[in-house]
Structure 1
Amino acid sequence: MAKQIVTDLNVKDKKVLMRVDFNVPMKDGKITNDNRIVAALPTIKYVLENGGKVIAFSHLGKVKTEEDLKTKSIKPAAERLSELLGQEVKFVPATRGAELEEAINNLKSGEIMMFENTRFEDLDGKKESKNDPELGKYWASLGDLFVNDAFGTAHRAHASNIGIAANIGEGKSAAGFLMEKEIKFIGEAVDSPVRPLVAILGGAKVSDKIGVIENLLVKADKVLVGGAMMFTFLRALGKNTGTSLVEEDKIELAKALLEKANGKLILPIDTVVAPKFDNDAPHMTVSIDEIPADQMGLDVGAATIELFSKEIAAAKTVVWNGPMGVFEMPNYAKGTIGVCEAIANLQGATTIIGGGDSAAAAMQLGYADKFTHISTGGGASLEYLEGKELPGVVSISDK
């Protein structure tokens, strides 16, 4: 079902409630990465340039204590947004009440304001994250239209997304450009890809990605598995994995997935091992048949990078989610770098990163602009890859 996009709404002189995802990393009150703010700019600018009044809001982390109220204000994000837009973003340090209502009523066409971290409402009974009906209704009453551009929280049923959408009125909610892009790229890549479709999955646990693996074994032509979860699959094949991370209770499931895969699921053929989880520990590359009993695998080896690169080279659509090794340690980052380079150098293909660590890796390596799309929502993109309906998307008005 096609959803309304912001361009389907007449925003002129309207109070446009806009759910953005400014859940940005912060250190000592300073933003360390503003990618999510930058990603929201096209939608914000569109509404402002078309005479709308923007009331932006987002969550920031989890709020559980009074101390969180002091350290998790969204104000630094409002200040950064102001710099990026080149215009004032009025900030209201409240999530409800007279001050907020007055600021909204005083907003002129082409102006923007932002209110406080929506999770501040969680301090008293998780009102935001449990979609308190009264809160969703109240927030909806503050505006004329609702634009949801926060794909990163689309897999959650919160007051600030589905609560507002349910109360704003029929035909008055729409997806922002970022949300539209996420739905288009991830949805199309999995449901109607240009083939061959190659999916690359990494990360620590099979249990985190069971649904994704099952869905992609049906949809993809090849599924390449790296990261620590490869060892659960290797054990399922009866191989010794030394002291590598293995989910013992998932070995039978891994066996079943391998049988179901019918040759589609490709595992590493070598691994970089070390006696302990330490960048400076002595390490070496061994075949997956020769992992020493007292060593743990921390990355895929050079032969695997070559094997995976060949599979990637034949692809027309690539979806990547999860690192191939302990990417944050330089000695165990080569697998992730190798896969990233193989995808980045692919010509004439649609290449998508499903958020999280793989997105961070591509950005760190300077390859961000070489990918067709980098998702801003790790958890949401995983659930989308799993074939699940996302509440935040479902709640947007249909065209």
Structure 2
Amino acid sequence: MSIRYLDEIENLAGKKVFMRVDFNVPLDEHQNITEDTRIRAVLPSINYALDANAKVILASHLGRPKGERKAKYSMAPTAKRLSRLLDKEVKLASDCIGDEVKTMIDAMQPGDVLMLENVRFYEGEEKNDADFARALANGCEIYVNDAFAVSHRAHASVEAITRFFPVVAAGFLMKNEMNYFDKAMKNPIRPLVAILGGAKVSGKLEVLENLLGKVDKIIIGGGMAFTFLKALGYNVGKSLVEEELLETATRVLAKARESGTKFYLPVDCVAADQFKPEAETKVTPVQEIPEGWMGLDIGPATVTLFTEALQNAKTIIWNGPMGVFEMDAFSRGTFAMVSAVANAYALTIVGGGDTDSAVHRAGEYAKISYISTGGGAFLELLEGKKLPGIKVLEENGHK
């Protein structure tokens, strides 16, 4: 079973195309969009449909309104930004279902764009409710999913809705995500290196276990490294440790040895006496973290070690920062790794909101082969899971 993509649909002219996008963008206190990468990412799909004279109906969520209509979660800012990016009017519906929306859809002309109001204003969205999905599909003819970042959720506008369309396809953003993932995991040019960071092992455990034996090297940074270091018998002071996962960490290390996967852990860290930007800091070997202190970033020796480990890499996947990079004192390790990955002679794929943010802040995003728009979805693919939103596209793509 294969996914049908937008450019494989014959004759879009005059057709009402319902496109699920992910416009869940950050806003400031004045409801101004502070970063619009997710909107720009779907412009190729929207423009393709418009060039083919389709009528484009866009559906998205914003924030977590939990089934309630809340003004601060309105799609209005995204409709306004999209109008500017497309250089044409994008009308905003007052709702995402109902007679008024149906009337607006019926009145559309080829080349028109309509933004529906936040689908999460209804509980039925997150409950994958079939009646809500049917109401969303009402009046539309073709379904296109170009929202990779929510495709790990079995939500009404992602999963159930596909039952109510004769034609189901994926957009070009989804195509890019799947193509790059396949290049990394299904047929990689080796050596294949996975870099995993972030706070906790628990969030990456299934990823780790799935990657063992499939990748050539695993590099571990961030808070999750200290659970492994403590499992090896080191005293890590007050560093973040998931005590209940120490046995699991020992098992993962043993499996890495058995599978021949080279496993890299920090050898030094930037330690602090408290979790604050103004904390006293020192660089120390991981074996010598002072009592009562905590490791909050990888140290310079670790940066050298990890950079050396990347020297012969041909494919690199990275999810999760190396330290608390939001605080300047603990940002150098993450930014040094951004530079190492960006300058590697390899196919480089970055996934996850924090890692994406670090790459942009370091100004190196142009040198990364691909930055995934999906944090949770990217992780679940790395775990070897079949995403609900992808599964229904495969099942219904050629019905």
| TM-score bracket, shorter-length normalisation | over 0.9
Aligned to 2:189: 194
Deviation at 1:280, TM superposition (A): 1.5
Q: Is the 8 A contact 1:198 1:315 kept in 2?
A: yes
Q: Does 1:237 align with 2:235?
A: no
Matches within 5 A, 1:183-222: 183-222=178-217
Q: Is the 8 A contact 2:195 2:319 kept in 1?
A: yes
Aligned to 1:151: 148
**CA-to-partner distance for each residue in 1:83-106, whole Å, 9 max, x for gaps?**
000001011111211210111001
3-state SS in 2 of match to 1:143: coil
Q: What is the alpha-carbon distance in structure 2 between the residues aligned to residue 260 and residue 160 of structure 1?
A: 40
Matches within 5 A, 1:67-82: 69-82=70-83
Matches within 5 A, 1:1-399: 1-10=1-10, 11-27=12-28, 28-64=30-66, 69-121=70-122, 126-169=123-166, 172-262=167-257, 264-347=262-345, 349-396=346-393, 397-399=396-398
Q: Is the 8 A contact 1:141 1:168 kept in 2?
A: no
Q: What is the alpha-carbon distance in structure 2 between the residues aligned to residue 32 and residue 210 of structure 1?
A: 32
Deviation at 1:324, TM superposition (A): 0.2
Q: What is the alpha-carbon distance in structure 2 between the residues aligned to residue 113 and residue 398 of structure 1?
A: 24
Query: Is the deviation greater in 28-37 or in 41-50?
Result: 28-37
Aligned length: 391
Q: What is the alpha-carbon distance in structure 2 between the residues aligned to residue 113 and residue 353 of structure 1?
A: 32
TM-score, normalised with respect to structure 2:
0.96
Residue 318 of structure 1 aligns with an amino acid whose one-letter code is I
Query: Is the deviation greater in 7-16 or in 374-383?
Result: 7-16
TM-score, normalised with respect to structure 1:
0.96
Identity of aligned residues (%): 48
Deviation at 1:395, TM superposition (A): 0.9
Residue 146 of structure 2 aligns with an amino acid whose one-letter code is D
Q: What is the alpha-carbon distance in structure 1 between the residues aligned to residue 3 and residue 90 of structure 2?
A: 29
3-state SS in 2 of match to 1:198: strand
Q: What is the alpha-carbon distance in structure 2 between the residues aligned to residue 269 and residue 241 of structure 1?
A: 12
**CA-to-partner distance for each residue in 1:364-390, whole Å, 9 max, x for gaps?**
111111111000110000001111000
Q: What is the alpha-carbon distance in structure 1 between the residues aligned to residue 237 and residue 317 of structure 2?
A: 30
Deviation at 1:166, TM superposition (A): 1.9
Residue 254 of structure 1 aligns with an amino acid whose one-letter code is A
Q: Is the 8 A contact 2:324 2:331 kept in 1?
A: yes
Residue 184 of structure 2 aligns with an amino acid whose one-letter code is A
| Runs (4+) off by over 3 Å | none
3-state SS in 2 of match to 1:127: helix
Deviation at 1:4, TM superposition (A): 0.4
Q: Is the 8 A contact 1:191 1:219 kept in 2?
A: no
Deviation at 1:65, TM superposition (A): 7.2
Q: Is the 8 A contact 1:89 1:112 kept in 2?
A: yes
Q: What is the alpha-carbon distance in structure 2 between the residues aligned to residue 235 and residue 142 of structure 1?
A: 58
Q: Is the 8 A contact 1:243 1:294 kept in 2?
A: yes
3-state SS in 2 of match to 1:116: coil
Q: What is the alpha-carbon distance in structure 2 between the residues aligned to residue 118 and residue 315 of structure 1?
A: 42
Q: Is the 8 A contact 1:217 1:265 kept in 2?
A: no
Residue 36 of structure 2 aligns with an amino acid whose one-letter code is D
Deviation at 1:147, TM superposition (A): 0.5
Residue 195 of structure 1 aligns with an amino acid whose one-letter code is R
Residue 289 of structure 2 aligns with an amino acid whose one-letter code is I
3-state SS in 1 of match to 2:255: helix
3-state SS in 2 of match to 1:161: coil
Q: What is the alpha-carbon distance in structure 2 between the residues aligned to residue 279 and residue 73 of structure 1?
A: 34
Q: Is the 8 A contact 2:348 2:369 kept in 1?
A: yes
Q: Is the 8 A contact 1:14 1:145 kept in 2?
A: yes
Deviation at 1:140, TM superposition (A): 2.0
Q: Which runs of 5+ in 1 are unaligned?
A: none
Task: State the superposition RMSD in angstroms.
Answer: 1.1
Deviation at 1:33, TM superposition (A): 0.7
Residue 305 of structure 2 aligns with an amino acid whose one-letter code is L
